[in-house]
Structure 1
Amino acid sequence: MFGGGGGLNPRKMKQMMEQMGIDLEELDAEEVIIRTPDEDLVFTDAQVQKMDAQGQATYQVVGSPESRPRGEGGTAGAVEGEADSADESADDAGGAAIPDSDVEIVAARTGASEDDAREALEATDGDLAAAVEMLE
Protein backbone atom coordinates (compact mmCIF):
# COMPACT_ATOMS: atom_id res chain seq x y z
CA MET A 1 0.00 0.00 0.00
CA PHE A 2 2.79 2.45 0.92
CA GLY A 3 5.51 0.89 -1.17
CA GLY A 4 7.89 -2.02 -0.84
CA GLY A 5 11.05 -2.71 1.07
CA GLY A 6 9.37 -3.76 4.33
CA GLY A 7 9.00 -0.23 5.66
CA LEU A 8 8.22 3.36 4.94
CA ASN A 9 10.73 6.17 4.78
CA PRO A 10 10.25 8.17 8.04
CA ARG A 11 10.39 11.48 6.15
CA LYS A 12 7.68 10.32 3.72
CA MET A 13 5.58 9.07 6.65
CA LYS A 14 5.87 12.48 8.33
CA GLN A 15 4.81 14.23 5.10
CA MET A 16 1.78 11.93 4.78
CA MET A 17 0.78 12.56 8.41
CA GLU A 18 1.03 16.33 7.90
CA GLN A 19 -1.16 16.08 4.78
CA MET A 20 -3.80 14.23 6.84
CA GLY A 21 -3.65 16.89 9.58
CA ILE A 22 -1.88 14.66 12.09
CA ASP A 23 0.75 16.32 14.29
CA LEU A 24 3.21 14.11 16.20
CA GLU A 25 5.24 15.57 19.06
CA GLU A 26 7.82 13.95 21.36
CA LEU A 27 7.29 15.06 24.98
CA ASP A 28 10.11 15.40 27.50
CA ALA A 29 8.21 13.64 30.30
CA GLU A 30 9.92 13.15 33.65
CA GLU A 31 7.27 10.81 35.04
CA VAL A 32 3.96 9.29 33.93
CA ILE A 33 1.46 7.88 36.43
CA ILE A 34 -1.54 5.77 35.46
CA ARG A 35 -3.93 5.30 38.37
CA THR A 36 -6.25 2.32 38.54
CA PRO A 37 -8.56 1.48 41.44
CA ASP A 38 -5.98 -1.00 42.80
CA GLU A 39 -2.57 0.39 41.87
CA ASP A 40 -0.50 3.21 40.42
CA LEU A 41 1.65 2.38 37.40
CA VAL A 42 4.62 4.76 37.58
CA PHE A 43 6.84 5.25 34.53
CA THR A 44 9.97 7.18 35.57
CA ASP A 45 11.86 6.98 32.28
CA ALA A 46 9.08 6.73 29.73
CA GLN A 47 9.15 7.88 26.14
CA VAL A 48 5.96 9.84 25.49
CA GLN A 49 4.54 10.91 22.15
CA LYS A 50 1.52 13.15 21.67
CA MET A 51 -0.46 12.83 18.46
CA ASP A 52 -3.05 15.46 17.52
CA ALA A 53 -5.51 14.33 14.87
CA GLN A 54 -8.77 16.10 14.06
CA GLY A 55 -8.77 17.96 17.39
CA GLN A 56 -8.27 14.79 19.45
CA ALA A 57 -5.03 14.28 21.40
CA THR A 58 -3.68 10.75 21.85
CA TYR A 59 -0.69 9.95 24.05
CA GLN A 60 1.58 6.94 23.62
CA VAL A 61 3.69 5.86 26.59
CA VAL A 62 6.56 3.43 26.10
CA GLY A 63 8.51 2.10 29.07
CA SER A 64 8.47 -0.27 32.02
CA PRO A 65 6.27 0.84 34.90
CA GLU A 66 6.75 0.27 38.60
CA SER A 67 3.54 -0.95 40.22
CA ARG A 68 2.64 0.71 43.55
CA PRO A 69 -0.41 -0.21 45.63
CA ARG A 70 -2.91 2.64 46.04
CA GLY A 71 -3.23 4.54 49.32
CA GLU A 72 0.28 4.21 50.73
CA GLY A 73 1.66 7.44 52.24
CA GLY A 74 0.16 10.15 50.04
CA THR A 75 0.24 10.22 46.27
CA ALA A 76 2.88 8.63 44.08
CA GLY A 77 5.14 11.20 42.49
CA ALA A 78 3.95 14.11 44.61
CA VAL A 79 6.38 16.96 45.06
CA GLU A 80 8.12 16.68 48.42
CA GLY A 81 6.21 19.57 50.02
CA GLU A 82 2.92 18.25 48.65
CA ALA A 83 3.61 14.79 50.05
CA ASP A 84 4.20 16.27 53.50
CA SER A 85 0.91 18.21 53.43
CA ALA A 86 -0.93 15.17 52.09
CA ASP A 87 0.47 13.08 54.95
CA GLU A 88 -0.57 15.74 57.49
CA SER A 89 -4.07 15.82 55.98
CA ALA A 90 -4.19 12.04 56.17
CA ASP A 91 -3.25 12.14 59.87
CA ASP A 92 -5.88 14.80 60.58
CA ALA A 93 -8.52 12.92 58.60
CA GLY A 94 -7.91 9.58 60.29
CA GLY A 95 -6.14 7.99 57.31
CA ALA A 96 -8.28 9.28 54.43
CA ALA A 97 -6.25 11.93 52.59
CA ILE A 98 -8.59 14.71 51.43
CA PRO A 99 -6.72 17.23 49.27
CA ASP A 100 -6.84 20.82 50.54
CA SER A 101 -7.91 21.93 47.06
CA ASP A 102 -11.04 19.75 47.33
CA VAL A 103 -11.82 21.23 50.75
CA GLU A 104 -11.47 24.76 49.33
CA ILE A 105 -13.76 23.94 46.39
CA VAL A 106 -16.51 22.56 48.63
CA ALA A 107 -16.18 25.45 51.10
CA ALA A 108 -16.33 28.07 48.33
CA ARG A 109 -19.29 26.39 46.63
CA THR A 110 -21.36 26.00 49.78
CA GLY A 111 -20.18 28.91 51.95
CA ALA A 112 -19.36 26.41 54.71
CA SER A 113 -16.22 26.55 56.83
CA GLU A 114 -13.21 24.51 55.72
CA ASP A 115 -13.66 22.22 58.73
CA ASP A 116 -17.27 21.51 57.77
CA ALA A 117 -16.24 21.01 54.13
CA ARG A 118 -13.52 18.53 55.17
CA GLU A 119 -15.98 16.62 57.38
CA ALA A 120 -18.47 16.40 54.50
CA LEU A 121 -15.73 15.17 52.14
CA GLU A 122 -14.64 12.56 54.67
CA ALA A 123 -18.25 11.41 55.13
CA THR A 124 -18.65 11.02 51.35
CA ASP A 125 -15.24 9.39 50.78
CA GLY A 126 -13.94 12.46 48.92
CA ASP A 127 -16.92 12.79 46.54
CA LEU A 128 -17.08 16.52 45.78
CA ALA A 129 -20.62 16.55 44.43
CA ALA A 130 -21.99 14.52 47.32
CA ALA A 131 -20.20 16.75 49.86
CA VAL A 132 -21.62 19.90 48.25
CA GLU A 133 -25.10 18.36 48.22
CA MET A 134 -24.75 17.39 51.89
CA LEU A 135 -23.84 20.96 52.88
CA GLU A 136 -26.43 22.79 50.74
Structure 2
Amino acid sequence: MIPGMNPRKMKQMMKQLGMDIKPIEDVQEIVITTPKGRYVFDQAEVAIMKMQGTVTWQITGEPRFEEAEAVIPDEDVELVAGQAHVTPEAAKAALVETKGDIAEAILRLSS
Protein backbone atom coordinates (compact mmCIF):
# COMPACT_ATOMS: atom_id res chain seq x y z
CA MET A 1 0.00 0.00 0.00
CA ILE A 2 0.95 3.61 -0.46
CA PRO A 3 1.94 5.27 2.83
CA GLY A 4 -0.58 7.83 4.05
CA MET A 5 -3.38 6.57 1.79
CA ASN A 6 -6.66 5.30 3.16
CA PRO A 7 -6.76 1.48 2.63
CA ARG A 8 -10.45 1.58 1.69
CA LYS A 9 -9.80 4.27 -0.92
CA MET A 10 -6.84 2.26 -2.23
CA LYS A 11 -9.04 -0.84 -2.68
CA GLN A 12 -11.65 1.27 -4.48
CA MET A 13 -9.01 2.68 -6.86
CA MET A 14 -7.64 -0.80 -7.53
CA LYS A 15 -11.13 -2.06 -8.31
CA GLN A 16 -11.66 0.82 -10.76
CA LEU A 17 -8.38 -0.11 -12.48
CA GLY A 18 -9.53 -3.73 -12.76
CA MET A 19 -7.01 -4.99 -10.20
CA ASP A 20 -7.85 -7.80 -7.82
CA ILE A 21 -5.33 -8.94 -5.20
CA LYS A 22 -5.97 -11.98 -3.03
CA PRO A 23 -3.52 -13.34 -0.45
CA ILE A 24 -2.98 -17.09 -0.10
CA GLU A 25 -3.22 -18.06 3.54
CA ASP A 26 -1.08 -20.57 5.47
CA VAL A 27 1.68 -21.00 2.88
CA GLN A 28 4.14 -23.55 4.28
CA GLU A 29 6.86 -23.72 1.63
CA ILE A 30 7.62 -22.52 -1.88
CA VAL A 31 10.32 -24.13 -4.03
CA ILE A 32 11.66 -22.70 -7.29
CA THR A 33 13.84 -25.21 -9.13
CA THR A 34 16.52 -24.16 -11.62
CA PRO A 35 19.33 -26.14 -13.28
CA LYS A 36 21.80 -24.69 -10.74
CA GLY A 37 19.71 -25.47 -7.66
CA ARG A 38 16.58 -24.72 -5.68
CA TYR A 39 15.34 -21.53 -4.02
CA VAL A 40 13.36 -22.57 -0.95
CA PHE A 41 11.07 -20.12 0.85
CA ASP A 42 10.21 -21.65 4.23
CA GLN A 43 8.07 -18.71 5.29
CA ALA A 44 6.64 -16.50 2.60
CA GLU A 45 3.67 -14.32 1.90
CA VAL A 46 2.00 -15.07 -1.41
CA ALA A 47 -0.56 -12.96 -3.25
CA ILE A 48 -2.31 -13.46 -6.57
CA MET A 49 -2.88 -10.26 -8.55
CA LYS A 50 -5.22 -10.17 -11.53
CA MET A 51 -5.08 -7.12 -13.75
CA GLN A 52 -6.40 -6.72 -17.28
CA GLY A 53 -6.51 -10.47 -17.88
CA THR A 54 -3.00 -11.11 -16.58
CA VAL A 55 -2.39 -13.16 -13.43
CA THR A 56 0.74 -12.41 -11.42
CA TRP A 57 1.97 -14.35 -8.38
CA GLN A 58 3.91 -12.30 -5.86
CA ILE A 59 6.20 -14.01 -3.35
CA THR A 60 7.56 -12.00 -0.44
CA GLY A 61 10.14 -13.62 1.82
CA GLU A 62 13.77 -14.64 2.20
CA PRO A 63 14.82 -17.79 0.29
CA ARG A 64 17.69 -20.12 1.01
CA PHE A 65 19.57 -21.60 -1.93
CA GLU A 66 20.30 -25.33 -2.22
CA GLU A 67 22.81 -26.21 -4.93
CA ALA A 68 21.84 -28.98 -7.31
CA GLU A 69 23.69 -32.23 -6.95
CA ALA A 70 25.94 -32.87 -9.92
CA VAL A 71 24.77 -35.75 -12.09
CA ILE A 72 27.89 -37.70 -13.03
CA PRO A 73 27.51 -39.95 -16.11
CA ASP A 74 29.20 -43.37 -15.96
CA GLU A 75 31.18 -42.50 -19.10
CA ASP A 76 32.78 -39.57 -17.29
CA VAL A 77 33.70 -41.78 -14.34
CA GLU A 78 35.32 -44.34 -16.67
CA LEU A 79 37.22 -41.62 -18.54
CA VAL A 80 38.61 -40.02 -15.36
CA ALA A 81 39.45 -43.43 -13.84
CA GLY A 82 41.34 -44.44 -16.99
CA GLN A 83 43.19 -41.15 -17.44
CA ALA A 84 44.17 -40.77 -13.76
CA HIS A 85 44.80 -44.50 -13.21
CA VAL A 86 42.50 -44.69 -10.18
CA THR A 87 39.47 -46.74 -9.13
CA PRO A 88 36.04 -45.76 -10.42
CA GLU A 89 35.03 -44.86 -6.84
CA ALA A 90 37.93 -42.39 -6.52
CA ALA A 91 37.13 -40.98 -9.96
CA LYS A 92 33.47 -40.46 -9.06
CA ALA A 93 34.41 -38.80 -5.76
CA ALA A 94 36.74 -36.40 -7.61
CA LEU A 95 34.01 -35.62 -10.16
CA VAL A 96 31.49 -34.88 -7.41
CA GLU A 97 34.04 -32.66 -5.67
CA THR A 98 34.71 -30.72 -8.90
CA LYS A 99 30.98 -30.59 -9.81
CA GLY A 100 31.47 -32.72 -12.91
CA ASP A 101 34.55 -30.95 -14.30
CA ILE A 102 36.44 -33.82 -15.97
CA ALA A 103 39.72 -31.97 -16.54
CA GLU A 104 39.84 -30.65 -12.98
CA ALA A 105 39.07 -34.12 -11.58
CA ILE A 106 41.91 -35.68 -13.60
CA LEU A 107 44.32 -32.95 -12.51
CA ARG A 108 43.44 -33.39 -8.83
CA LEU A 109 43.86 -37.16 -9.00
CA SER A 110 47.10 -37.00 -10.98
CA SER A 111 48.96 -34.62 -8.66
Provide the TM-score with structure 1 as the length reference.
Answer: 0.45
Q: Which amino acid aligns with 1:23?
A: D
Max Rg structure: 2
How many angstroms does 1:37 deviate by?
A: 2.0
Deviations 1:94-123 (A, max 9, x none): xx7xxxxxxxxxxxxxxxxxxxxxxxxxxx
In the alignment, what sits opposite 1:13?
10
**Bigger RCO (CA 8 Å, 6+ sep):** 2
In the alignment, structure 1 residue 23 sits paired with structure 2 residue 54: no
Unaligned residue ranges in structure 2 (runs of 5+) = 72-111
Identity %: 41
Find runs of 4+ consecutive structure 1 residues off by over 3 angstroms.
none
Q: Which amino acid aligns with 1:44?
A: D
Which residue among 33, 36, 41 is the counterpart of 1:35? 33
Q: Which has the higher strand share?
A: 2
Unaligned residue ranges in structure 1 (runs of 5+) = 1-5, 73-95, 97-136
Q: Which amino acid aligns with 2:55?
A: A
Secondary structure of 1:34's counterpart equals strand
Number of equivalences: 68
How many angstroms does 1:70 deviate by?
A: 1.8
Provide the TM-score with structure 2 as the length reference.
Answer: 0.55
CA RMSD of aligned residues (A): 1.8
